[in-house]
Amino acid sequence: MTQATSRITAGRADLAAWKAAQPANFFRAEPLLAQTLSLVAPESLTPDFIARLDTHGAACATELDEAATINNRPWNLPRLERYDAIGNRTEEIENHPSYHDAGRVIYESGLMGELAHEGGLLRSLAFFTLSSMCGEAAHNCPVACTAGIISSLSAVGSPELRAAYLPGLLSRSYKTRLDGAQFLTEVQGGSDVGAGDTRALPLADGSFAIHGEKWFCSNAGADLILMTARYPDGPEGTSGLGLFLVAKTLPGGAPNHFVIRRLKDKLGTRSMPSGEIDFQGAIAHSVGPLRDGFKTVMRYVINLSRIYNAIAVTGAALRAASVAASYARHRRAFGGPIAEYASVIDLVAAMRSDAAASLVATLSLAPAAERAMRGTASADEQSFVRFATNLNKVVTARLAVETTLRGIETLGGNGAIESFSILPRLHRDMIVCENWEGTPNVLCAQMARDLHRGRIDDAFFAHVSARFEALSSEAARPLAEAAPAAIAELAARLDATRALPHDRATLAIKRLSVPLAALWYAAELARLGEHDPDGQKQPWALQAALHLWNRHLGPTVGAIGGDEYELARAVAAL
Ligand SMILES: Cc1cc2nc3c(=O)[nH]c(=O)nc-3n(C[C@H](O)[C@H](O)[C@H](O)COP(=O)(O)OP(=O)(O)OC[C@H]3O[C@@H](n4cnc5c(N)ncnc54)[C@H](O)[C@@H]3O)c2cc1C
Burial 475-485 (b: 16+ CB within 10 A, else e): bbebbbebbee
Domain end residue (candidates: 291, 319, 346): 291
Whether pTM exceeds 0.85 = yes
The reply to whether 495 falls in a domain is: yes
Q: Can you give the pLDDT at residue 344?
A: 98
Burial of 257 (0-12, 13-18, 19+ CB in 10 A): middle
3-state secondary structure of 544: helix
Distance 318 CA to ligand 1 centre (A): 26
pLDDT digits over 321-378, tens only?
999 999 999 999 999 999 999 999 999 999 999 999 999 999 999 999 999 999 999 9
The reply to whether 47 falls in a domain is: no
Q: Which atom of ligand 1 is nearest to the CA of 268?
A: 1
Range of the domain at 243: 180-291
Let me know: does 214 contact 195? Beta carbons within 8 Å: no
User: Which residue owns the Cα nearest ligand 1 atom 9?
Assistant: 183
pLDDT digits over 186-209, tens only?
999 899 999 999 999 999 999 999
Q: Which sign does the torsion angle of CA 463, 469, 475, 477 carry?
A: positive
User: Which residue owns the Cα nearest ligand 1 atom 20?
Assistant: 190
Q: Can you give the pLDDT at residue 2?
A: 55
State the DSSP string of 348-364: HHHHHHHHHHHHHHHHH
Bridge partner list, 279: 212, 258
User: Which residue owns the Cα nearest ligand 1 atom 37?
Assistant: 191
pLDDT digits over 36-93, tens only?
999 999 999 999 999 999 999 999 999 999 999 999 999 999 999 999 999 999 999 9
Backbone angles phi, psi at 210, to 5 degrees: -95, 130
Q: How many domains does the chain have?
A: 2
User: Which residue owns the Cα nearest ligand 1 atom 26?
Assistant: 190
Q: CA–CA distance from 407 to each of 318, 328, 340 (Å)?
A: 10, 10, 16
Q: Which atom of ligand 1 is nearest to the CA of 441?
A: 47
Q: Is residue 268 lining ligand 1, measured as CB closer than 6 Å?
A: no
Q: CA–CA distance from 2 to each of 6, 9, 15, 16, 505 (Å)?
A: 6, 11, 20, 21, 66
Q: Is residue 154 lining ligand 1, measured as CB closer than 6 Å?
A: no
Tell me the residue ranges of DSSP E strands in 412-463. Answer: none
Q: CA–CA distance from 206 to each of 166, 176, 203, 491, 514 (Å)?
A: 21, 28, 6, 50, 47
Q: Is residue 22 lining ligand 1, measured as CB closer than 6 Å?
A: no
Burial of 295 (0-12, 13-18, 19+ CB in 10 A): middle
Q: Which atom of ligand 1 is nearest to the CA of 440?
A: 47
Q: Is residue 217 lining ligand 1, measured as CB closer than 6 Å?
A: yes
Distance 387 CA to ligand 1 centre (A): 20
The reply to whether 400 falls in a domain is: no
Q: Can you give the pLDDT at residue 336?
A: 92
Q: Is residue 435 lining ligand 1, measured as CB closer than 6 Å?
A: yes
Q: Is residue 184 lining ligand 1, measured as CB closer than 6 Å?
A: yes
Q: How confident is the model at residue 504 (pLDDT cuts 50, 70, 90)?
A: very high
Rounded CA-CA distance 117/79 in Å is 36
Q: Can you give the pLDDT at residue 532?
A: 81
The reply to whether 511 falls in a domain is: yes
The reply to whether 314 falls in a domain is: no
Q: How confident is the model at residue 538 (pLDDT cuts 50, 70, 90)?
A: confident
Q: Is residue 441 lining ligand 1, measured as CB closer than 6 Å?
A: yes
pLDDT digits over 367-412, tens only?
999 999 999 999 999 999 999 999 999 999 999 999 999 999 999 9
Distance 435 CA to ligand 1 centre (A): 6
| CA 535 to chain centroid | 32
Of 125, 561, 552, the closest CA to residue 354 belongs to 552
Rounded CA-CA distance 527/542 in Å is 8
Domain end residue (candidates: 291, 312, 338): 291
Burial of 375 (0-12, 13-18, 19+ CB in 10 A): exposed
Q: How confident is the model at residue 218 (pLDDT cuts 50, 70, 90)?
A: very high
Distance 457 CA to ligand 1 centre (A): 26
The reply to whether 22 falls in a domain is: no
Q: Which atom of ligand 1 is nearest to the CA of 189?
A: 26
Q: Which atom of ligand 1 is nearest to the CA of 185?
A: 11
The reply to whether 402 falls in a domain is: no
State the DSSP string of 311-342: HHHHHHHHHHHHHHHHHHHH-EETTEEGGGSH
The reply to whether 215 falls in a domain is: yes
Q: Is residue 189 lining ligand 1, measured as CB closer than 6 Å?
A: yes
Q: CA–CA distance from 125 to each of 122, 130, 140, 320, 363 (Å)?
A: 5, 9, 11, 19, 8
Backbone angles phi, psi at 508, to 5 degrees: -60, -40
Q: Is the pLDDT of residue 176 over 80?
A: yes
3-state secondary structure of 94: strand
At 271, which CATH number? 2.40.110.20
Residues ≥6 apart with Cβ < 8 Å to 57 = 25, 26, 27, 28, 29, 30, 130
Residues ≥6 apart with Cβ < 8 Å to 197 = 186, 188, 212, 230
Q: Can you give the pLDDT at residue 3?
A: 57
Q: Is residue 445 lining ligand 1, measured as CB closer than 6 Å?
A: yes
Average pLDDT value for residue range 4-14: 89
Residue to mutate (ligand 1; options 93, 191, 503; most atoms within 8 A of CB): 191
Domain end residue (candidates: 291, 317, 350): 291
Q: Is residue 216 lining ligand 1, measured as CB closer than 6 Å?
A: yes
